């Protein structure tokens, strides 16, 4: 398995381009299932998870063409509305094919994603919504079986804010008979990007970005071209990497408008942030102030940035309280950070981080995507060499991470 070797201490400086958003591309590629016409996507990040999804769509009969960051999908030959366990177990976001398959084919057999390192990750809200729209849904032998002649518009209310739940139900409603209203909808920018793509394909959607989304179903959708929005979590991750090293960087092909909560915290930590139309610059002091945070659905502080902020708090001045309110087990990076000398105490869903003068390089193990990112951030500032094992987690969500970090002056290399 690949490892990442980082020699800590380099101040990051320079410019790097941010890729398209993984968590926008995943639902948006699934939207191609909703039409028999080809759909072209640009700024698609070249990530393991994207490759997994394209393979999943290919085995359903979707024609996949890929050239660099452009992907064209043609689902006219869709003949196998099945997502098998062997593929779904490697990427739980595969559940996003459920809504489109039921809407387009009237049936779907999708393996339950199962849990992952950060939590149980149930999909009960996805199922509840489809049932409310008239689908007959059975869960047996680890698969969700859904059938319906045609979905009917309905008023849906999700028990908690769920990003992929909102996305699945919005895609299903696009072809339903009548109007669907999703209340308590997720407001994440990736939900808005998906809605914009669906509207370009002929869907009638209003309210995306608010907690009430209205979808008026249509008979069919048509082809379109859509550019994937920038990855705000990749952006935030590089901002943290620059901040913790006292660096000064400019990130292009991205925007600060989806990161207000994160940028506020970086400024509280003592950083200067300058926003341009499609770039963000950050310069950091030699030592950051500790910043407390509480994760919550957008527009509040994103759970996907919690691990990275725990890392920068490890060497900040003061004590930080970090509360994780979205997932039940998203502090696994803490024990790995402690191996680097961090002073962290976990009490339920709260972590208390006492900043220390320095971290010392060691061998650590990645456990999930964002936990791995926090170990990279810590390794950049730890004294000596840090070896991060199991970095396949990183490859799922960060395109060419070591190349981009090296371009900013980090001493990092991959050991295959
Ligand atoms: C999306 O996951 C993201 N993934 C996650 O990013 C992100 O952390 C998460 O939203 C929260 O922002 C993608 O978009 C592909 P949820 P999702 O449904 O949709 C519970 C990353 O690192 N819940 O919003 O799976 C659930 O257990 C990944 O890029 C139910 O109980 O998250 C969780 O506690 C990690 N029943 C909470 O709701 C359901 O039916 C929020 O989950 C659905 C969710």
Q: Is the CB of 128 under 6 A from ligand 1?
A: no
Ligand 1 centroid to Cα of residue 378, in Å, is 25
3-class secondary structure, 203:
coil
Distance of CA 297 to the CA centre of its chain: 13
Ligand 1 centroid to Cα of residue 123, in Å, is 9
Closest CA to 223 of 415, 395, 72, 111: 72
Residue 181 near residue 213 (C-beta atoms within 8 A): yes
List of E strands, 184-313: 204-206, 212-216, 225-227, 248-252, 272-276, 279-283, 293-294
List of E strands, 148-284: 155-157, 179-183, 204-206, 212-216, 225-227, 248-252, 272-276, 279-283
pLDDT score, position 120: 75
Q: How far apart are CA 315 and CA 353, in angstroms?
A: 9
Ligand 1 centroid to Cα of residue 249, in Å, is 30
Residue 31 is encoded by which pair of tokens?
């939207």
Q: Is the CB of 326 under 6 A from ligand 1?
A: yes
Q: Is the CB of 121 under 6 A from ligand 1?
A: yes
Residue 304 near residue 330 (C-beta atoms within 8 A): no
Neighbours of 338 (CB within 10 A): 17
The backbone torsions φ and ψ at residue 7, rounded to the nearest 5 degrees and listed phi first, read -100, 110
Ligand 1 centroid to Cα of residue 95, in Å, is 11
Query: In testing the pocket of ligand 1, which one of 53, 160, 399 has its CB within 8 Å of the most ligand atoms?
Result: 160
Q: How far apart are CA 246 and CA 284, in angstroms?
A: 5
Q: Is the CB of 126 under 6 A from ligand 1?
A: yes
pLDDT score, position 133: 98
3-class secondary structure, 328:
coil
List of the chain residues with pLDDT < 70: 115
Query: In testing the pocket of ligand 1, which one of 23, 169, 211 has its CB within 8 Å of the most ligand atoms?
Result: 23
Q: Is the CB of 373 under 6 A from ligand 1?
A: no
Q: Is the CB of 370 under 6 A from ligand 1?
A: yes
Atom of ligand 1 nearest to the CA of 23: 14
Q: Is the CB of 159 under 6 A from ligand 1?
A: no
How are the residues of the chain apportioned to helix, strand and coil, as percentages rounded to the nearest 5? 35, 30, 35
Q: Is the CB of 303 under 6 A from ligand 1?
A: yes
Return the residue matching tokens 């390089």: 361
Query: In testing the pocket of ligand 1, which one of 31, 48, 165, 232 has its CB within 8 Å of the most ligand atoms?
Result: 165
Ligand 1 centroid to Cα of residue 93, in Å, is 9
pLDDT score, position 416: 87
Atom 8 of ligand 1, residue of closest alpha carbon: 304
> Which are the catalytic amino acids?
116
Q: Is the CB of 52 under 6 A from ligand 1?
A: no
Atom of ligand 1 nearest to the CA of 124: 40
Q: How far apart are CA 74 and CA 61, in angstroms?
A: 9
pLDDT score, position 153: 98
Residue 275 is encoded by which pair of tokens?
């926003």
The backbone torsions φ and ψ at residue 12, rounded to the nearest 5 degrees and listed phi first, read -75, 140
State the pTM of this model. 0.98
pLDDT in tens, 309-333: 999 999 999 999 999 999 988 999 9
DSSP structural state of residue 139: E
Closest CA to 75 of 34, 136, 123: 34
DSSP structural state of residue 75: G
């Amino acid at each position: 398995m690949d490892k990442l070797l980082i020699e800590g201490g380099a101040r990051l400086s320079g410019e790097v381009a941010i890729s398209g958003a993984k968590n926008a591309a995943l639902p948006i590629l699934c939207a191609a299932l909703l039409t028999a016409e080809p759909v072209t996507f640009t700024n698609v990040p070249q990530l393991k998870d994207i490759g997994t999804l394209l393979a999943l769509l290919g085995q359903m009969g979707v024609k996949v063409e890929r050239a660099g960051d452009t992907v064209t999908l043609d689902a006219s030959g869709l003949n196998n509305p099945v997502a098998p366990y062997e593929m779904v177990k490697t990427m739980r976001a595969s559940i996003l094919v459920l809504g489109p398959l039921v809407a387009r084919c009237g049936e779907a057999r999708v393996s339950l994603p199962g849990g992952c390192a950060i939590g149980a990750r149930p999909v009960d809200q996805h199922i509840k919504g489809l049932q409310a729209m008239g689908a007959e849904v059975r869960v047996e032998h680890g698969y969700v079986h859904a059938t319906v002649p045609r979905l009917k518009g309905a008023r849906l209310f999700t028990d908690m804010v769920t990003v992929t739940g909102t996305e699945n139900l919005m895609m299903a409603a696009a072809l339903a008979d009548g109007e669907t209203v999703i209340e308590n909808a997720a407001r994440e920018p990736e939900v808005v990007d998906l809605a914009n793509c669906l509207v370009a394909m002929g869907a009638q959607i209003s309210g995306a970005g608010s907690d009430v989304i209205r979808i008026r179903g249509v008979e069919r959708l048509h082809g379109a071209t859509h550019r994937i929005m920038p990855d705000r979590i990749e952006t935030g991750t590089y901002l943290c990497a620059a901040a913790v090293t006292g660096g000064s960087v400019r990130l292009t092909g991205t925007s600060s408008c989806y990161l207000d909560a994160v940028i506020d915290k970086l400024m509280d930590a003592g950083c200067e942030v300058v926003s341009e139309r499609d770039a963000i610059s950050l310069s950091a002091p030699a030592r950051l102030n500790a910043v407390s945070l509480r994760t919550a659905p957008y527009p509040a502080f994103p759970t996907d940035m919690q691990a990275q902020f725990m890392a920068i708090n490890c060497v900040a001045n003061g004590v930080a309280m970090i509360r994780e309110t979205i997932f039940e087990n998203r502090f696994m990076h803490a024990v790995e950070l402690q191996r680097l000398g961090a002073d962290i105490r976990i009490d339920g869903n709260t972590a208390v981080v006492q900043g220390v003068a320095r971290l010392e390089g060691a061998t650590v193990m990645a456990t999930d995507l964002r936990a791995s990112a926090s170990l990279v951030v810590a390794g950049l500032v730890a004294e000596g060499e840090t070896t991060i094992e199991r970095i396949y987690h990183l490859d799922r969500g960060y395109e060419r991470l070591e190349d981009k970090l090296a371009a900013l002056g980090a001493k990092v290399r991959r050991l295959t």
